[in-house]
Amino acid sequence: MENEPDQEHLDQNPCARTVEEELSKSFNLEASLSKFSCIDLDKELEFRSDLIDDKEFDIPQVDTPPTLESILNETDDEDESFVLEDPTLLNVDTIDSHSYDTSSVASSDSGDRANLKRKKKLPDSFSLHGSVMRHSLLKGISAQIVSAADKVDAGLPTAIAVSSLIAVGTSHGLALIFGKDQNQALRLCLGSTSVGGQYGAISALSINNDCSRLLCGFAKGQITMWDLASGKLLRSITDAHPPGTAILHIKFTDDPTLAICNDSGGSVFELTFKRVMGVRTCESRCLFSGSKGEVCCIEPLHSKPELKDHPITQFSLLAMASLTKILVIGLKPSLKVWMTFPYGRMDPSSVPLLAWHFVAVNNSVNPMLAFCRGDMVHFLLVKRDESGAIHVTKQKHLHLYYDLINFTWINSRTVVLLDSVERLHVIDRQTQEELETMEISEVQLVYNSSHFKSLATGGNVSQALALVGEKACYQSISSYGGQIFYLGTKSVYVMMLRSWRERMDHLLKQDCLTEALALAWSFHEGKAKAVVGLSGDVSKRKAVVADRMVEILFHYADRALKKCPDQGKIQVMEQHFQDTVPVIVDYCLLLQRKDLLFGQMYDKLSENSVAKGVFLECLEPYILSDKLVGITPQVMKDLIVHFQDKKLLENVEALIVHMDITSLDIQQVVLMCWENRLYDAMIYVYNRGMNEFISPMEKLFKVIAPPLNAGKTLTDEQVVMGNKLLVYISCCLAGRAYPLGDIPEDLVPLVKNQVFEFLIRLHSVEASSEEEVYPYVRTLLHFDTREFLNVLALTFEDFKNDKQAVEYQQRIVDILLKVMVENSDFTPSQVGCLFTFLARQLAKPDNTLFVNRTLFDQVLEFLCSPDDDSRHSERQQVLLELLQAGGIVQFEESRLIRMAEKAEFYQICEFMYEREHQYDKIIDCYLHDPLREEEVFNYIHNILSIPGHSAEEKQSVWQKAMNHMEELVSLKPCKAAELVATHFSEQIEVVIGQLQNQLLLFKFLRSLLDPREGVHVNQELLQIPPHITEQFIELLCQFSPDQVIQTLQVLECYRLEETIQITQKYQLHEVTAYLLEKKGDAHGAFLLLLERLQSRLQEMTRQGENTKEDILLKGVEDTMVETIALCQRNSQNLNQQQREALWFPLLEAMMTPQKLSSSAAPPHPHCEALKSLTMQVLNSMAAFIALPSILQRILQDPIYGKGKLGEIQGLILGMLDTFNYEQTLLETTASLLNQDLHWSLCNLRASVSRGLNPKQDYCSICLQQYKRRQEMADEIIVFSCGHLYHSFCLQSKECTLEVEGQTRWACHKCSSSNKASKLSENPSENKKGRITSSQVKMSPLYHQSKGDPPARKANSEPVLDPQQMQAFDQLCRLYRGSSRLALLTELSQNRGGDSCRPFAGPQSGPAFNSVFQKENFQLQLAPPPVAED
């Protein structure tokens, strides 16, 4: 939106009108504006059915409405809790309050909630609606305001009121009256600066309906009434309301003897003007007392002259907005309250707004009240029923992304909103769409803050009213006759809706032609918003807009040609026209002006070859979607030539089949299609252009027949042609046009007969003597037998049972049999397709075909011929399809089974056996069929488990499976085991007895008993006897001895003694040791492993240097590791003596080979390796046997006791190094733990004892200062985040939780912002730490004296209270990872468990939540973090 140009610029353009002329025209047409307002309501009623139907719900009515006195006597404190029937009616989120400077000026973003909400972007409304509002500066009035301030000390403007005149009040008590004519002359200057010095500034103005009286309210409380005709002072009222309060509002009602005023004390008074015996008087009556709740906005309902007889006007309704509720009262015939409506929780600094307007809803015109506060606008519809009672219904509310300071109706559908940063928003009420936004900071809007603070009388107002007044501008904005006037510090601006032509012209001036066309189309379709000046019925409005659109389109085309780049790449020119030409085409077709499109527009664009090409390409999508028919022959010809020149042949074909080609040269088009292989287009031209359906078939047959007859493979192009031919034949026989549409009904029978006659021709045209009979049928059968027969089957479905149709069917069947049966060049699959087709036709109930049954016998012989083994699966599949299609009735079943068995057609046998319910024989079919033998298991399982089969049938299948069990096991042991476990669990020993092959028996038992094989067997239900498990273990020792231990770990049902005997039998010492340990004989297991270790050591020392020494050393190491693990697992449960009995023999065994080596002999090649293994034994035993005992045992050895300590010097030094390392580790760990403990306690003490500084002095839920509720037994809760609450408010929001007998609190605002719906018992689960305990509690008892501190701490207890727990959690969150204390605690817990056992089952408990299992686990070597102060 931009300002109108200045006078000097307009003088250069004789066609332009000056601002004053426009204003004069609008000012002088007030009657027409009123008429327009009425027309607007009529139009709204007329098109109400097209609008969104608001969801309405009534505010509940009461039998006896409350009286005004009862309302006044209500407790209206800030803590009053309003209970709505529908709690979602006014659901406003709790918000922070912000303080503003008293001198609030425009565009100040600091501290404004609108700034935060402005991050939510709306789509650009200019491109959708253009410029909706026109705003202009009233230069004459503005200049005279500035002049009056300079010359007569009138002061700055403070208030404005508009009717037929414009009244401006000033800060020095003057009222300046201006005319609304072209000159904007000053008519009257009412009052004087001396009176202004006494009364103060004018704080409110009001003009009555006939523009004869002016009411002025002053900052010091006085009220004056002036005669606007003579300029005389009629009344000076000083006692209408309590002294010492400023007049905030003064409003005339529709009754010229009745006015309403509202003062800065929050009270509302009714002023009644009377004239008795020539004396003018004024009576005042209090309607609402400020002591019960301060009213800061009033709005009486004004009706236009044409609505003066409306039934609602007799009540003289008045809306009042206090700081907590909305009231609607009736002043006549007697004072009555019709509605009270609470706000709910609101930002205390937001400005309450009220505005009335008559709107059409549900085919009736009624007043609607808009009330706003903050970012919510609610609409209340007021209606009077037949009984005379008033009903108020809630309409759809408007939720904005900015805070409002003004709301103005400009008409019944459009509202203008002003936000807190002086940005104007034009909104369509019903769709809630934003039509336009504009900045008005240049106005320098006047604010009424000083009057709301009553600075002229000493500032004796409440803080709440003063806070609301920060952004109050009630008296700076006035609307009248569809115009809105804004009063600035040095100017007056007027705004009004542009007419529809003006909106389009505004876009055209800015060269936005595309946007102008879009806007015009929205006018044409009746979808535009805020439309002014477009009247008449629908057809007339559309005609007017269409004419204007045609003008714009011509201008658009001229500009497109003019702005085309003259030189450069052709792609640049194409892009230019691709951006412009489609717009012309779209709108011409939308307006249904093909004459314009293919006439003047096409001629104009044809001047440029590139534009012409783009124009033709734009037509393609409309032609393909059948939205464009009736193209002129010239354009059609140019279109085909253009696409042909650009080699877009596929596009040409797609276009031709959607066009009316009767006006083209058909022969030329056919030739072009054939040369370019556009077969679809060629068929379409033959069919539509010449009603010729056979010629396209002949052309296509000539191409595909020769290679098929010669036995050659078809090319891809020939395959495409053959497929098109089949589809074309199918379409013709079904009465459909190719490639789309339908054949005319009168031609359908003729086309079907022609196509049938063509297909069954004995010879083709121009046939050679060598041609076989029925060439067309033969060609199609060779090309695709199955699809051609499908085409015939579909055709037979559509046939009616008349004589000719029956003859055609029998004739074509006879030809098919003659062609395929008498020739050997068709495959079994092709022959099978034919007889499957015949079987389906013969199986129909209304079949009239006859086929010789001997032909089916011949086909059976042909398919089951044992002399030919080729294509076995293909023959079987063809015969199966034939039987399934109903051909089984053509055969003798016993003969069919014999031939199928002879030909090894097992699927055929299965099909026949299933018909006779011989399910046991089907098992043989599966077992003999190599392709399906593994499916036998699922088949047996389904028969035995799925209901529907008789007991005899299941028994026969069960017995058959038992008889073939060995064969089943050899086929797949795992599947056989699963089958046995499910259906033969009681016959397991019988099954085992049948399996003579030991390897086969081993595989079966492993699948049955070993759960690792993946077989789903329930061992508990199976109840395998132990001797079978032991039999499996014995087989396992034979065939897979290295898997015995792993298998024993998962097996359950075996006896230890018998199993030990088995493992001893096969000399599996490690397995025997495992079983002995499991039995509880750890010493026996140790002796066995020790013997094994000694034997391997002896073998290694005997070998000397040999290639097998590496293998022997590996065996020694493995046995030693197993022995060490055995000792470690059992040492924890033994006393010291028993431990030494385990460890010392092991040490002795490892040191014996080193003792045997003498110094004279060469050193053993693995001497160093043995020393390393011995050191490993010493390190392992050091955890269980004291170091002095180990040294004493070594020194007691006779060899080392005689001075040969040098040989074991390395072992002893290694033990000492280990001891030093562990001692250092212990000291370092203790030091780190002490440091962590000291740091944690210091910071915990600092956090607990630290004072808190609340961010505000009011509760963040009820928005009331905590001092206001001191009479209630309520505590104050302060959180570490700085938010403050009443404990009662927190409890109402369910922000408390009892944990271990203590009350835990959560900050409501922080937990809501974090989307925390429930309190967590662990405060550290919340990332921001806002689900915390209460920090400070303040009792109301502490408010009794001023000197007391504002808060008290809870008494400390021996255990951590919630505050200390929160502080400790915050310290824990300072660490970036797990603390050292947590790591060491977990290590100490794990050490005590049985984690060393390699055969132990999975452990539960803390290990699953281990810090070591986290992906981001890493040790941190940095010192502890520094806690913030």
**Considering only CA atoms, which of 491, 520, 496, 521 is closest in space to residue 508?**
520
- Residue 219 CA from chain centroid, whole number: 55
The answer to whether the beta carbons of residues 215 and 225 sit under 8 Å apart is: yes
The answer to whether the beta carbons of residues 294 and 348 sit under 8 Å apart is: no
Q: Give the pLDDT score at 226.
A: 94
pLDDT at 1393 exceeding the cut of 90: no
The sign one gets for the Cα dihedral 1375, 1377, 1378, 1381 is: negative
**Considering only CA atoms, which of 934, 888, 932 is closest in space to residue 914?**
888
Per-residue three-class SS string for 825-878: CCCHHHHHHHHHHHHHHHCCCCCCCCCCHHHHHHHHHHHCCCCCCCCHHHHHHH
Omega before 65 within 30 of 0, i.e. cis: no
Q: Rounded distance, CA 169 to CA 219, Å?
A: 11
Which stretches within 591-608 are classed as H helix?
Answer: 594-596, 602-605
Which stretches within 185-254 are classed as H helix?
Answer: 193-199
Q: Residues of the chain with pLDDT > 70: what percent?
A: 78
Q: Give the pLDDT score at 205.
A: 95
Position with higher pLDDT, 201 vs 1221: 201
**Across the beta sheet with 404-409, what order do the strands follow?**
404-409, 414-419, 423-428, 433-439
The answer to whether the beta carbons of residues 1106 and 1113 sit under 8 Å apart is: no
pLDDT at 64 exceeding the cut of 60: no
**Considering only CA atoms, which of 1065, 1057, 1013 is closest in space to residue 1034?**
1065
Q: Rounded distance, CA 148 to CA 166, Å?
A: 15
Q: Rounded distance, CA 899 to CA 908, Å?
A: 10
The answer to whether the beta carbons of residues 1337 and 1351 sit under 8 Å apart is: yes
* pLDDT band of 872, cuts 50, 70, 90: confident
**Across the beta sheet with 258-263, what order do the strands follow?**
247-252, 258-263, 268-276, 279-288
Q: Three-state DSSP class for 510?
A: coil
CA 962 to each of CA 290, 957, 984, 1387: distance values in angstroms, whole numbers, following the listed order:
101, 9, 9, 57
Q: Three-state DSSP class for 594?
A: helix
The answer to whether the beta carbons of residues 443 and 411 sit under 8 Å apart is: no
Q: Rounded distance, CA 1234 to CA 1237, Å?
A: 5
What would the pLDDT profile of 916-959 be if each residue is shown by its tens digit? 888 888 888 888 888 888 888 888 888 888 888 888 888 888 88
* pLDDT band of 529, cuts 50, 70, 90: confident
In eight-state DSSP terms, residue 688 is: I
Contacts of 665 (CB under 8 A, 6+ apart): none
Over range 656-677, report the average pLDDT. 77
* pLDDT band of 39, cuts 50, 70, 90: very low
The single residue listed with the structure tokens 């608001």 is: 54
The answer to whether the beta carbons of residues 293 and 325 sit under 8 Å apart is: yes
DSSP 18-74: PHHHHHHHHHTTHHHHHHHHHHHHHHHHHTGGGS-----EEPPP-SSPPPHHHHHTS
Over range 524-552, report the average pLDDT. 88
φ/ψ region of 1085 (left if φ > 0, alpha if ψ in -120 to 50, else beta) reads alpha
Over range 585-592, report the average pLDDT. 87
Q: Residues of the chain with pLDDT > 90: what percent?
A: 13
Q: Three-state DSSP class for 648?
A: coil
Q: Rounded distance, CA 659 to CA 655, Å?
A: 6
pLDDT at 1392 exceeding the cut of 60: no
* Token reading at 60: 């509940």
* pLDDT band of 1201, cuts 50, 70, 90: low
Q: Rounded distance, CA 457 to CA 1026, Å?
A: 107
Of 132-141, 678-687, 1410-1419, which has the strongest mean pLDDT?
Answer: 132-141
What would the pLDDT profile of 180-211 be if each residue is shown by its tens digit? 888 889 999 999 888 888 889 999 999 998 99
Contacts of 216 (CB under 8 A, 6+ apart): 169, 175, 190, 191, 202, 204, 205, 223, 224, 225, 226, 250
CA 1245 to each of CA 461, 1248, 1279, 1332: distance values in angstroms, whole numbers, following the listed order:
46, 5, 18, 17
Which pTM does this prediction carry? Answer: 0.54
pLDDT at 1337 exceeding the cut of 60: no
- Residue 704 CA from chain centroid, whole number: 55
**Considering only CA atoms, which of 654, 673, 677 is closest in space to residue 739?**
654
Q: Give the pLDDT score at 473.
A: 92
**Considering only CA atoms, which of 1310, 1313, 1260 is closest in space to residue 1287?**
1260
Contacts of 1023 (CB under 8 A, 6+ apart): 985
In eight-state DSSP terms, residue 430 is: T
Of 310-319, 673-682, 828-837, which has the strongest mean pLDDT?
Answer: 310-319
* Token reading at 313: 């006007």
Q: Hey, what amino acid is at 46? A: E
Contacts of 641 (CB under 8 A, 6+ apart): none
**Considering only CA atoms, which of 91, 98, 100 is closest in space to residue 113?**
98
Contacts of 520 (CB under 8 A, 6+ apart): 504, 545, 548, 549, 552
Contacts of 279 (CB under 8 A, 6+ apart): none
Over range 1123-1128, report the average pLDDT. 88
pLDDT at 613 exceeding the cut of 50: yes
* pLDDT band of 50, cuts 50, 70, 90: very low
CA 239 to each of CA 204, 236, 245, 875: distance values in angstroms, whole numbers, following the listed order:
17, 9, 11, 116
**Across the beta sheet with 223-227, what order do the strands follow?**
202-207, 213-218, 223-227, 233-237
The single residue listed with the structure tokens 């542009």 is: 498
Q: Rounded distance, CA 271 to CA 281, Å?
A: 10
What would the pLDDT profile of 362-396 be if each residue is shown by its tens digit? 888 899 999 998 888 999 999 888 888 888 888 88
Q: Give the pLDDT score at 1267.
A: 66
Angle of helix 716-734 versus helix 785-798 axis, rounded to 10: 10
What would the pLDDT profile of 902-916 be if each residue is shown by its tens digit? 777 888 888 888 888
Over range 225-229, report the average pLDDT. 93
Mean pLDDT, all residues of the chain: 76
* 581-615 residues labelled b (16+ CB within 10 A) or e (exposed): bebbbebbbebebbebbbeebbebbeebebbbbbb
CB-side neighbour CA atoms (13 Å) of 1107: 0
Q: Give the pLDDT score at 1291.
A: 80
Rounded to the nearest 5 degrees, what angle is found at the Cα of 457, between the Cα atoms of 455 and 458?
65
Q: Give the pLDDT score at 93.
A: 35
Q: Give the pLDDT score at 324.
A: 86
Q: Rounded distance, CA 339 to CA 65, Å?
A: 8
Q: Which of 104-118, 151-165, 220-234, 630-644 is predicted least confidently?
A: 104-118
Q: Give the pLDDT score at 123.
A: 41
- Residue 1082 CA from chain centroid, whole number: 64
Of 43-47, 223-227, 1030-1034, which has the strongest mean pLDDT?
Answer: 223-227
**Considering only CA atoms, which of 494, 553, 504 is closest in space to residue 533?**
504
pLDDT at 1406 exceeding the cut of 80: no
Position with higher pLDDT, 687 vs 1365: 687
CB-side neighbour CA atoms (13 Å) of 607: 11
**Across the beta sheet with 325-330, what order do the strands follow?**
295-300, 317-322, 325-330, 336-342
CB atoms within 10 A of CB 1132: 12
Q: Rounded distance, CA 278 to CA 394, Å?
A: 47
* pLDDT band of 1084, cuts 50, 70, 90: confident
Helix or strand (DSSP H, E) at 477: strand 477-480
* pLDDT band of 585, cuts 50, 70, 90: confident
